[in-house]
Structure 1
Amino acid sequence: MFSRAVANATGNVIREILKLTQQPDVISFAGGLPSPDAFPGEELQEIAAQIIGKYKNEVLQYGTSEGYLPLRQFVAGWVKEKGIEAEAADVLIISGSQQGIDLLGKTFINPGDGILLENPTYLAAIQIFNVYQGKFNLVNTDEQGLIPASLRAAAEKSTNKLVYLVPTFQNPTGTTLSLARRREIAGMLEELGLVLVEDDPYGDLRYSGDPLPAIKAYDQQNRVVYLGSFSKIISPGLRVGFAIGPREILGKMVIGKQTTDVHTSNLSQMIIYEFCRQGLLTPHIASVREKYGRKRDLMLELLDKYFPEEVTWTKPEGGLFIWAELPQGVSSTELLQEAVKEKVAFIPGDCFFPAGGGENTIRLNFSNASPEEIETGISRLGKVMKKYLTCIQKK
């Protein structure tokens, strides 16, 4: 009855786990959700009213598939901060950066085509490329992100079209690709016959360390499609992201978008543009960084205080996630079942591994919970871990 593309597709594990966390009093570190207290609700409400009042005929009508021109122009100027040189014609507005992954899958991937992925990597990218029946070829990573030598070895061992990376505050690990590796990877794409999908939804959420240019900044061979988003810095519900890349590729993505949703919401695009045009974006990002930076610092402090000494974790300079590893042989899925009984939740890490593995890993989100919830939740989780590890050791 169903197509091969979706017959074996599975639902989003994170969305299923989030259903469990709807129980009363459950403290959730499971989702990748921005905190509601970071949403500029009053400003967006006022802007939306102004737009509908002044531009109701334009905003309520169909729009162009490429996106609202003033917003494309703003984005082209804004990304200069990341070292990217672009014009409005190089920008496609999309319904969240995740749609960009889907459109690139639709543009490039035939069944069996190779895709190079970090291991672990973003769950939705795994799901999307699975729908297009791509073949995953995995690349090794370390604390500085993707290892260029491993990328070259994997690319030379198999035929691939795309390499997909989240180079800055990676989901799920929180690691950041080093500057030297960004340059090296950009320089080898043409030789290896690859297009790089640089997914950067978290890059503006830096709490410590120095900002790094995008890989796209070193794209002399025009082989990088950069995906950005306003979801984590303004509002995920507005569903506004953007793609910057070679115009030939963007043209194919536009065709793909026309078969999906015709265009991104006019109202959402105009709200985002007005928010930016009125000079609200920069101070808002500063406010979000301050809120999330304090939460990151608090969670790291509490992990030291409450987690067993057998557990290790990353110390990300930004983003939304901390990645923890338990001893080998431990099941984080079993641990989750015990944690939910104690009213605390997280994401087991195995779902981020395209070819399996990672059963002893977990992803923790620090942005959505309040400081009080972080204190209580990490304390509960630490107790659950200690009890669970003791039981495992006795077996």
Structure 2
Amino acid sequence: MSEEWKLNKASSLPLHQQIYDFIKRKIINGEWPVGTKIPPQRKLAQKFQVNRSTIVYALGELCADGLIVSKVGSGTIVANNTWSVLTASPPPDWISYVKSGAYHPNMQIIQEINAAEADPAIIRLGTGELSPELLPSQKIKQIFHRAHSLSLGYSEPKGSLHLREMVSEYIKSKGINASPSSIMIVSGALQALQLISVGLLYRGSTIFHETPSYLNSVHVFQSAGMNLFGIPMDNKGIQTHSIGRLKRQHNGALLYSIPSFHNPTGILMSIDRRRELLNTCKKESIPIIEDDVYGDLWFESPPPNPLKSMDEQGQILYIGSMSKTLGPGLRIGWMVGPEPVIDRLSDIKMQTDYGSSSLSQFAVAEWLSSGLYEDHLTGIRTELLERRNFTINILNTYFKEIATWNVPKGGFYIWLSINKQISIHQVFRKALKAGILLNPGNVYDRNNQQHIRLSYSFATMVQLEKGLIRLAEIIQELNS
């Protein structure tokens, strides 16, 4: 729970009065402007850890003072912040600005997931990042400690030349030949998608992608006025036979794909399917965004080389990142593509943030140039394989009768398919009430009511076991 929501239960001031004062302070300070929807009574009771009757009493007092008002069908909203009574001109209507912004808000369930992740007590069975215990924090500190000179200034538009040289060398091991001038450093893969959406595409364009897809969990293209269109997958990756027809029907502008250890399904696209996809898109003149952020996280054997390694016409924009291997806090990734495209997008990047963190760029360049990165990957692969096997063993023990699943060859995710038709929303709610945070399938495909994305990368072994056993019980309870 956030510190700001805590009450002093040892105080002589009654709890309802403390809650009244808290909400009134939020309103008067302008943090909750006129029109803000107050959280439901149930949520307020959970946040303050009090009986619902205490909340009802506090809200009644606020209502009597004219600060809030309850409207049937709309909930309780801030009606007055007292300043509108004291001044001739009313305060700015921030709520109308919030609603008119171009960027789409996250889905409600994504907002709830993001909020719940701030609770250190919750078991996070869906979080797509490395556990803090797997991040190389000490080695990062040592790199900065040994540094003879650090730049705190802005880097050039495409990013640090030294880092781009290191990335150029690094991706050669994946069969990709790209000079530093055709590489741009970005603040994570998501920024690369944002730059593409505003720099290369027209409003109304259609983006093809695998379904289900990570793209549905972020609104980067939708907020720029584009439409998403999902193409089915099988166990070898995206199915290519309908792409040409769909392009003509829907005016497809480009295709986004995660060939290696797909998010959320964990599927590894076969080498034959990669060739099919590239040849189909070449024939139909459809550019490809290849997201390879999980490509280094293989277990027994490396995945096939990226699509970009077979690209002879500059058809593919290739995205890589350190967020899934060194840590999301570094905010360093890269995009590889034709120089005119990289020049265009780097100009836009300079207009928006003046370049990625010079300190993070320095650290990543050191990791790549020193050989530390390869050593680190070897350790991470071993740890993730152990966690995957541990998770599969739990599934074999507790989920055999209620679900099926894939066994991923790398990455973070297991795509759990529940056998019987039950409400995935109810599963999510009941699990959250039990202190378990899930990523349900409808986050990645709004019509999906059967799947859960499980991640073995973040929770501890103890949490994985406890959380999964309880999840099995919840599914069985809802099945009965």
TM-score by length of 2: 0.76
Match of 1:302 among 394, 413, 428: 394
Instruction: Evaluate the alpha carbon distance shift between residue 12 and residue 63 of structure 1 in structure 2; reply closer, same or farther with a 3 A threshold.
Output: farther
Instruction: Evaluate the alpha carbon distance shift between residue 360 and residue 193 of structure 1 in structure 2; reply closer, same or farther with a 3 A threshold.
Output: same
- 2:455 paired with 1:365: yes
Q: CA deviation at 1:5?
A: 6.3
1:122-180 superposed Cα distances (whole Å, 9 cap, x missing partner): 14674101111112222111111101113233223221211101111011111111101
SS at match of 1:212: coil
| Amino acid across the alignment from 2:460 | S
After superposition, residues 213-224 of structure 1 pair within 5 angstroms as 213-224=305-316
| Amino acid across the alignment from 2:464 | I
The answer for unaligned runs of 5 or more in structure 2 is: 1-95
- 2:49 paired with 1:49: no
SS at match of 2:142: helix
Instruction: Evaluate the alpha carbon distance shift between residue 125 and residue 218 of structure 1 in structure 2; reply closer, same or farther with a 3 A threshold.
Output: farther
Residues 187 and 331, structure 2, Cα contact 8 Å, conserved in 1: yes
Take 2:392 and 2:420, find their aligned partners in 1: how far apart are those partners?
22
Take 1:229 and 1:144, find their aligned partners in 2: how far apart are those partners?
24
Q: CA deviation at 1:111?
A: 1.8
Q: CA deviation at 1:20?
A: 2.5
| Larger RCO, structures 1/2 (Cα 8 Å, 6+ apart) | 1
After superposition, residues 1-395 of structure 1 pair within 5 angstroms as 1-2=96-97, 6=102, 8-10=104-106, 13-23=109-119, 25-51=121-147, 54-56=148-150, 59-123=151-215, 126-307=218-399, 309-327=401-419, 329-353=421-445, 356-390=446-480
Take 1:380 and 1:147, find their aligned partners in 2: how far apart are those partners?
36
Q: How many residues of Structure 1 are paired with residues of Structure 2 in the alignment?
A: 384
The answer for unaligned runs of 5 or more in structure 1 is: 391-395
Q: CA deviation at 1:190?
A: 3.2
| Amino acid across the alignment from 1:150 | S
From the CA coordinates, give the structure whose radius of gyration is larger.
Answer: 2
Q: Which moved further from structure 2: 335-344 or 169-178?
A: 335-344
Take 2:468 and 2:420, find their aligned partners in 1: how far apart are those partners?
21
Instruction: Evaluate the alpha carbon distance shift between residue 339 and residue 12 of structure 1 in structure 2; reply closer, same or farther with a 3 A threshold.
Output: closer
Residues 325 and 362, structure 1, Cα contact 8 Å, conserved in 2: yes
1:205-233 superposed Cα distances (whole Å, 9 cap, x missing partner): 01134421000111122100000001111
| Amino acid across the alignment from 2:127 | G
RMSD value over aligned CA atoms? 1.9
1:323-344 superposed Cα distances (whole Å, 9 cap, x missing partner): 1122463221211111123222
Q: CA deviation at 1:266?
A: 0.6
| Equivalent residue, structure 2, for 1:393 | none
Residues 189 and 334, structure 2, Cα contact 8 Å, conserved in 1: yes
Instruction: Evaluate the alpha carbon distance shift between residue 32 and residue 111 of structure 1 in structure 2; reply closer, same or farther with a 3 A threshold.
Output: same
Residues 292 and 318, structure 2, Cα contact 8 Å, conserved in 1: yes
Take 1:12 and 1:291, find their aligned partners in 2: how far apart are those partners?
33
Q: CA deviation at 1:60?
A: 1.0
Instruction: Evaluate the alpha carbon distance shift between residue 173 and residue 191 of structure 1 in structure 2; reply closer, same or farther with a 3 A threshold.
Output: same
Residues 5 and 131, structure 1, Cα contact 8 Å, conserved in 2: no
Take 2:102 and 2:443, find their aligned partners in 1: how far apart are those partners?
18
Residues 254 and 289, structure 2, Cα contact 8 Å, conserved in 1: yes
1:10-46 superposed Cα distances (whole Å, 9 cap, x missing partner): 3574453142354464311121121112211111102
| Amino acid across the alignment from 2:149 | Y
Q: Which moved further from structure 2: 158-167 or 283-292?
A: 158-167
- The sequence identity of aligned pairs, in percent, is 29
SS at match of 1:262: coil
Residues 416 and 453, structure 2, Cα contact 8 Å, conserved in 1: yes
| Equivalent residue, structure 1, for 2:27 | none
